[in-house]
């Protein structure tokens, strides 16, 4: 039996077709997404179909699940038409809405608001979360807010499109707790939507109707079958989930593993039985795709720090990696603070990047390349510290995402993160997790299938933590000195 997993992430859509029992890769495909932080969902749908075709179609596949970028706001009208282009997780226009929502829940007091959000919702709003985008919509585009009859996330919408889209009706919309927990109006600890939070975000009165929200499915539940005229006719549709929950499922993360993803976003997450309560908002209380919790820290700047630095130096990412490995540990005091798209962790939506410590001796491509790799990893190291503070055990790091293909990232990561780093063979952890969820839905087993070595498309490589932690600590200490000197 074959199953498929789809990853509709920020920059592209990827499809893997795997054997449901062993996880062995049978075929794969991909297609690019448009750039920008506001995207017409029709572009994702077109890319999904192109990627499915590239993967040889889904005719022989029993089940398919969609993993997708979290938080994106997809508003639908009563007929199921998209109301406006989706605002993505990395769109920061709702930063003020986030600040307002925090203060409102604390009756004007920010600290009380943060505590209330952390306790009642499990997250403290930042511009990434859907709830803040809805508040922005209510204020900036009230006519679009009024037309919104349902709110979905990218994976909910794509799964619904596979099921027939508008023809299936808004009631057919489904999600899972992994993705619902990133909305800001779902509590992952109590497994329930928070309609009053949604009402507040949309500024709707007590008697006004709220938009329809997707049904929250269990990890192995099905969202129906693919429509006859779509790319997955008759195929069982898994619940799908957010891309980070899918990645954790894809790498079969075990207790003590922290998954670090260097994709468009930088993510640190670790499956846990305990929901975090973090009023600083650094650790978000998301859910995973197995019924547990997935405390998560996310930065806005990761793999694109590498591509941007490569562009600056006029080289490709392969050469950037070589240069970074030629540069000295600590880059001679040169630090690149990587807030190229503003930042979410720390919460500085208006910040820009900075380079500190330029001298005649550090003004070389190798120093700058090294500083870029170290800067992005220092942000992720701060994230690991925050997870540890929330009680997560960290024995080793599992490094995934496009940036994990960089040899420099792989080699410098154990130094800066201070832990052994396991790099699975280059692949698509999100699409793999979605495929594993599809296999789970198809078999109806109590637990997700255990896939062994056959599911790995090569060898995992472990990069040991250095015996001497001093150089890594020095890199982080120097970064901490200048991190807070940037604007905004
Ligand atoms: N060898 C490499 N070195 C550095 N960056 C890379 C490499 N290969 C891919 N990337 C970067 O990884 C990113 C894509 O990663 P991916 O995890 O697929 O992102 P997303 O899921 O957010 O779309 C792109 O920015 C790409 O340039
Ligand atoms: O906002 C988050 C997590 O909270 C991001 O991780 C998005 O889910 C996008 O992921 P990538 O496209 O970078 O994988």
User: The domain spanning residue 101 has which CATH number?
Assistant: 3.30.420.40
Residues with Cβ within 8 Å of 9's Cβ and at least 6 positions away in sequence, in order, are 33, 68, 69, 243, 263, 264, 430
Q: Ligand 2 centroid vs 136 CA: distance in angstroms?
A: 20
Give the model's pLDDT for residue 456: 85
Ligand 1 pocket: which of 320, 402, 423 to mutate (most atoms <8 Å of CB)? 402
Q: Which ligand is nearest the CA of 92, by number?
A: 2
11 is in an annotated binding site: no
- Please write down the HEC assignment for all residues of the chain: CEEEEEEECCCEEEEEEEECCCCCEEEEEEEECCCCCEECHHHHHHHHHHHHHHCCCCCCEEEEEEEECCCCEEEECCCCCECCCEECCCCCCCHHHHHHHHHHHCCCCHHHHHHHHHHHCCCCCCCCCHHHHHHHHHHHCHHHHHHCCEEECHHHHHHHHHCCHHHHCHHHCEEEHHHHCCCCCEECCCCEECHHHHHHHHCCCCCCCCCECCEEECCCCEEEECCCCCCCCCCEEECCEEHHHHHHHHCCCCCCEEEEEECCCEEEECCECCCCCCCCCCCEEEECCCCCEEEEEEECCCHHHHHHHHHHHCCCHHHHHHHHHHCCCCHHHCEEECCECEECCCCECCCCCEEECCCCCCCCHHHHHHHHHHHHHHHHHHHHHHHHHCCCCCCEEEEECHHHHCHHHHHHHHHHHCCCEEECCCCCHHHHHHHHHHHHHHHCCCCCCCCCHHHCCCCCEEECCCCCCHHHHHHHHHHHHHHCCCCC
Of all atoms in ligand 1, which is nearest to the CA of residue 7? 21
Complex ipTM tops 0.95: yes
Ligand 2 atom 9, closest CA: 69
Number of domains in the chain: 1
Say if 307 falls within a structural domain.
no
Asked if residue 3 has pLDDT above 60, the reply is yes
pTM of the model: 0.96
Asked if residue 487 has pLDDT above 80, the reply is no
Q: Tens digit of pLDDT for each residue in 116-155?
A: 999 999 999 999 999 999 999 999 999 999 999 999 999 9
Say if 104 falls within a structural domain.
yes
Indicate if ligand 2 lies below 6 Å from the C-beta of 243: yes
481 is in an annotated binding site: no
Say which range, 249-253, 314-318, 324-328, has the weakest mean pLDDT. 249-253
Q: Ligand 2 centroid vs 37 CA: distance in angstroms?
A: 12
Ligand 2 pocket: which of 67, 181, 265 to mutate (most atoms <8 Å of CB)? 265
Say if 298 falls within a structural domain.
no
Mean model confidence pLDDT for the chain: 97
Average pLDDT, stretch 4-12? 97
Say if 193 falls within a structural domain.
yes
Say if 132 falls within a structural domain.
yes
Average pLDDT, stretch 328-339? 98
- Answer yes or no: are the C-beta atoms of 436 and 448 closer than 8 Å: yes
Average pLDDT, stretch 185-200? 98
Widest CA span in the chain: 67
Say if 171 falls within a structural domain.
yes
**What is the domain extent for residue 53?**
2-243
Which tokens is 14 given?
């990827």
Q: Tens digit of pLDDT for each residue in 420-453?
A: 999 999 899 999 999 999 999 999 899 999 999 8
Indicate if ligand 2 lies below 6 Å from the C-beta of 70: yes
Asked if residue 379 has pLDDT above 80, the reply is yes
Ligand 1 pocket: which of 6, 9, 11 to mutate (most atoms <8 Å of CB)? 11
Whether 54 sits among the annotated catalytic residues: the reply is: no
Indicate if ligand 2 lies below 6 Å from the C-beta of 293: no
Ligand 2 atom 4, closest CA: 298
Q: Which ligand is nearest the CA of 88, by number?
A: 2
Asked if residue 278 has pLDDT above 70, the reply is yes
Give the model's pLDDT for residue 481: 94
Q: Tens digit of pLDDT for each residue in 72-106?
A: 999 999 999 999 999 999 999 999 999 999 999 99
Confidence band, pLDDT 50/70/90 cuts, at residue 194: very high
Asked if residue 488 has pLDDT above 70, the reply is no
Give the model's pLDDT for residue 372: 98
Confidence band, pLDDT 50/70/90 cuts, at residue 254: confident
Q: Which ligand is nearest the CA of 344, by number?
A: 2
Of 100, 156, 179, 243, the catalytic one is 243
Say if 181 falls within a structural domain.
yes
Confidence band, pLDDT 50/70/90 cuts, at residue 178: very high
Say if 478 falls within a structural domain.
no
Give the model's pLDDT for residue 255: 84
Indicate if ligand 2 lies below 6 Å from the C-beta of 128: yes
Asked if residue 19 has pLDDT above 60, the reply is yes
């Amino acid at each position: 039996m074959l199953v498929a997993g789809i990853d509709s992430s920020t920059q592209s859509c990827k499809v893997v077709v795997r054997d449901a029992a062993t996880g062995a890769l049978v075929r794969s495909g991909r297609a690019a997404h448009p750039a920008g932080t506001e995207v017409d969902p029709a572009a994702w749908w077109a890319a999904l179909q192109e990627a499915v075709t590239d993967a040889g179609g889904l005719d022989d596949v029993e089940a398919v699940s969609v993993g997708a970028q979290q938080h994106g706001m997809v508003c639908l009208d009563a007929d199921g038409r998209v109301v406006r282009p989706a605002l993505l997780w990395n769109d920061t226009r709702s930063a003020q809405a986030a600040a307002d929502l925090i203060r409102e829940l604390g009756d004007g007091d920010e600290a009380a608001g943060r505590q209330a959000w952390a306790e009642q919702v499990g997250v403290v709003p930042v511009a990434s979360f859907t709830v803040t985008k809805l508040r922005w919509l209510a204020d900036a585009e009230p006519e679009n807010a009024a037309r919104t009859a349902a709110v979905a996330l990218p994976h909910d919408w794509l799964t619904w499109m596979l099921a027939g889209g508008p023809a299936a009706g808004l009631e057919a919309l489904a999600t899972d707790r992994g993705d619902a927990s990133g909305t800001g109006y779902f509590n992952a600890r109590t497994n329930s939507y928070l309609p009053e939070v949604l009402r507040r975000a949309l500024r709707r009165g007590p008697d006004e109707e709220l938009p329809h929200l997707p049904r929250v499915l269990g990890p192995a539940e099905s969202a129906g079958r693919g429509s006859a005229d779509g790319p997955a006719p008759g195929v069982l549709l898994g619940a799908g989930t957010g891309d980070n929950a899918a990645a954790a499922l894809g790498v079969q993360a075990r207790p003590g593993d922290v998954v670090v993803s260097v994709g468009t976003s930088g993510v640190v997450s670790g499956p846990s039985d305990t929901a975090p309560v973090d009023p600083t908002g650094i650790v978000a209380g998301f859910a995973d795709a197995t019924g547990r919790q997935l405390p998560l820290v996310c930065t806005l700047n990761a793999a694109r720090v590498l591509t941007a630095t490569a562009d600056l130096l006029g080289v490709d990412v392969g050469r950037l990696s070589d240069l970074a490995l030629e540069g000295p540990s600590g880059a001679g005091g040169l630090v690149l603070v990587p807030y190229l798209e503003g930042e979410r962790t720390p919460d500085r939506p208006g910040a820009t990047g900075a380079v500190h410590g330029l001298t005649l001796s550090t003004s070389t491509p190798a120093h700058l390349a090294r500083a870029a790799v170290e800067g992005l990893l220092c942000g992720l190291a701060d994230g690991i510290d925050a997870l540890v503070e929330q009680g997560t055990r960290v024995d080793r790091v599992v490094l995934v995402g496009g940036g994990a293909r960089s040899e420099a990232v792989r080699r410098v990561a154990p130094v800066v993160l201070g832990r052994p780093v396991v790099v699975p063979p280059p692949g698509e952890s999100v699409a793999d997790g979605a495929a594993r969820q599809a296999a789970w839905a198809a078999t109806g087993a109590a637990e997700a299938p255990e896939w062994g070595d056959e599911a790995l498309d090569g060898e995992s490589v472990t990069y040991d933590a250095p015996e001497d932690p001093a150089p890594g600590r020095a890199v982080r200490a120097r970064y901490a000195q200048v991190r807070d000197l940037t604007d905004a």
